[in-house]
Amino acid sequence: MKIKKILLLGLLTIAIGLSGCASARGEKVVDTNSKVPVETIAVDVKTITQQYDTVGKLHAYEEVIVSGNANGIVKTINFNVGDKVKEGDILYTLENKDLLNNIDMQKNSLQKTVEDSRIMYEDALGNYNSIKSLYEANAVSKEDLENAQVALDRASLNYQQAKKTLESNTVSFNSSIEDTIIRSPIAGVVSSRNIEIGERTSGASFIISKLDPMLVKTNVSEDFVNTISVGNQVKVTVQQQQYIGKVKTINPVGVNNSNMYPVEIVIENDGSFLKHGMFAEIAFELETLDNQIVVPKKTILSEGSRSYVYIVENQQPKKVAVEKGLTKDGEVQIVKGLKAGDMLIVMGHEYIDEQTEIKVVNQN
């Protein structure tokens, strides 16, 4: 195309030069080489999509601030900023030697209580069985049997209560130990770490960001917000890479009560190329129009507020006023002025008018 353009300009220069020389001699130019070379295409119909273009920024799909339930001295740290983590991975641990010693002492005491209450229960059970045999032999009174039953019931209750106390405290002990082991609540990337080994924890220690998928946050004008819906596909371009996303949320309340409405779009980030804070170009497809006259934008010339093109009619250029519609990807919808089949001049049109002699050097 670049070579064609050079040839056309060269031919045009020669034609103008010959014309100038002939005019200087007062001669009439009749050589066909003096005709201005042009290229044409046949106007055709195609589908064009109306879209709303805006910009936005990338954000993590989810961010979780991690802080331990217990304060303490940091013992180990397993991840740095930028590292990927899985849900449940141990981020860091706290010193827990004193805690473990204290728990061991309490567990030993509770286990001893259980064992003592078990022995008392077995003794009470044996005594009850003996009294019952004697009662059946009329060797002891009914009151003696009832007293043995009361003692057995009391020993049984104490034994069951001791076991429950041990079980509930074991759960509490394990929870206290787990509080010194801080895990990641989600899969993602470490985006912040505010602790070092040997320091005492206070406040947020880690921030975990989920970066796949990611969110694109933007604001949409009131003129278009009601033409998009949750689930709509959206074209998102980041650093010249194009992605297809889906509308996740549309906020019905404008930013600071303005006429711009926050919209969130979800896009995949399989290769981790996308980063929080990156700039994004967003194209919402609003309406698809079929059978539309569409021409290259470069073929349209302007004269004040009017737009026009040149077509070839009876081997002569004809200036045609046009009414423009949508513009997309270097093409313009023509609402009025052209019809399918018109031979549109696409190259050389800048150098002609309706009186210019032209030569079509290619015709598609």
pLDDT tens digits along 182-211: 999 999 999 999 999 999 987 778 999 999
Nearest CA to 113 out of 57, 162, 181, 183 is that of: 162
Residue pair 233/242 in contact by the 8 Å Cβ criterion: no
Q: Residue by residue, what is the 3-state secondary structure of 20-49?
A: HHHHHHCCCCCCHHHCEEEEEEECCEEEEE
The whole-number pLDDT of residue 276 equals 93
b/e for 78-94, b at 16 or more Cβ within 10 A?
Answer: ebeeeeebeeeeebbbb
Q: Is the pLDDT of residue 71 over 90?
A: no
pLDDT of the residue at 33: 62
More confident residue, 249 or 15: 249
- CA-only gyration radius of the chain, Å: 43
Reference 165, options 79, 89, 106; nearest CA is: 106
Average pLDDT over residues 218-244: 93
Q: According to the model, what pLDDT value does residue 287 have?
A: 80
Q: Which of 1-5, 30-34, 314-318, 339-343 has the lowest mean pLDDT?
A: 1-5
The pLDDT of residue 260 is above 50: yes
Band (pLDDT 50/70/90 cuts) for residue 364 is: low
pLDDT at 10 over 70: no
For residues 23 and 73, the model is more confident at: 73
pLDDT of residue 24: 40
Write out pLDDT tens, residues 162-182.
999 999 999 999 999 999 999
Q: Please indicate whether residue 70 or residue 61 has the higher confidence score (pLDDT).
A: 61
pLDDT for position 5? 45
- The pLDDT value recorded for residue 363 is 56
Task: Assess whether pLDDT exceeds 60 at residue 8.
Answer: no
pLDDT at 352: 93
- Is the predicted pLDDT of residue 59 greater than 60, yes or no? yes
| Positive/negative CA dihedral, 53, 54, 55, 58 | negative
CB half-sphere exposure, 334, CA atoms < 13 A? 24
CA dist 17 and 19 (Å) reads: 5
Give the whole-number percent of the chain exceeding pLDDT 90.
77
E strand segments, the chain: 36-42, 45-66, 74-77, 84-85, 90-94, 181-183, 188-193, 206-221, 233-238, 241-250, 260-267, 279-296, 301-303, 306-313, 316-328, 331-336, 343-347, 358-363
* pLDDT bracket for residue 11 (50, 70, 90): very low
Contact 267, 274 (CB under 8 A): yes
Cis peptide before 213 (omega within 30 of 0): yes
* Higher-scoring residue by pLDDT: 128, 20: 128
Of the chain, the percentage scoring pLDDT greater than 70 comes to 90
- Token pair belonging to 356: 């210019």
Side-chain half-sphere exposure of 20, counting CA atoms within 13 A? 6
When pLDDT is averaged across residues 129-144 and rounded to a whole number, the result is 93
In this predicted structure, the answer to whether residue 16 has a pLDDT above a threshold of 70 is no
| pLDDT tens-digit readout, 303-352 | 999 999 999 999 999 999 999 988 888 899 999 999 999 999 999 999 99
Average pLDDT over residues 71-83: 94
- Please say if the pLDDT value at position 82 is more than 60: yes
Average pLDDT estimate for 68-95: 93
